[in-house]
Structure 1
């Protein structure tokens, strides 16, 4: 069976490409993915059956051999650091909540700051395996 690494895969488009051992691209439709998988991370090592499609080589019956490590997971803050960030965010949200109880939204600058912090914290919690 030929092998390679996932070059990219777009779940919304329903296809992606594998870079084979010779460095050539092989088309990979979503139907070729193993049961239970809807997408594959870039760099995942795979083996596959090869057929000749209308536009060139096409992968079928893809088998995952090694999933690429998550860059997001590897760069997450340490739990102690994250605890301090969450506590600071709670203080900021509490201040905003008190203002809202008095019928006043935070200023535009404070709102942007809060939204940016909330997104950043959410990204650190939402790690895909």
Structure 2
């Protein structure tokens, strides 16, 4: 049974490609996914059978051997560190809220800093499993 790694898979499009261990790319339709699996992460190790389709090899009967590790999860700050970051962010938001109550928007530099911090904290919370 051939094996390889997921090169990419798009749930919305309903297909992706496997980079086979033999160096050949194999088309992966969503119908080949195992029961209960809706999507696959890039780099996941898989085994599959191959049938010849109209445009080349097509994977069928896919088996997930090993899921790709989550880089986001591996690089997340420790919970204690994240708690301190969130508390500092709350102080900044509270200060901005007080200014807004007095009908005063933060300066452009303060707004950019706050927006950058919010995005960074959101990225630490947003884990794609």
Same-fold call, TM cutoff 0.5: yes
**Offset at residue 34 of structure 1 (A):** 1.9
TM (norm. structure 1) is: 0.92
Q: Structure 1 residues 54 and 123, CA, compared in 2 at 3 Å: closer, same or farther?
A: same
Equivalent residue number for residue 90 of structure 2: 90
What is the rounded CA distance, in whole Å, between the counterparts of 2:44 and 2:87 in structure 1? Answer: 36
Aligned: 1:61 with 2:84: no
**Offset at residue 38 of structure 1 (A):** 2.4
- Which SS does the other structure have where 1:120 is aligned? helix
Equivalent residue number for residue 72 of structure 1: 72
Aligned CA-pair RMSD? 1.3
Equivalent residue number for residue 9 of structure 1: 9
**Offset at residue 115 of structure 1 (A):** 1.4
Equivalent residue number for residue 18 of structure 2: 18
Unaligned runs of 5+ in 2: none
TM (norm. structure 2) is: 0.92
Unaligned runs of 5+ in 1: none
**Offset at residue 27 of structure 1 (A):** 0.6
**Offset at residue 18 of structure 1 (A):** 0.6
Equivalent residue number for residue 111 of structure 1: 111
- Which SS does the other structure have where 1:42 is aligned? coil
Corresponding residue pairs, total? 129
- Which SS does the other structure have where 1:113 is aligned? helix
What is the rounded CA distance, in whole Å, between the counterparts of 2:60 and 2:108 in structure 1? Answer: 52
Equivalent residue number for residue 120 of structure 2: 120
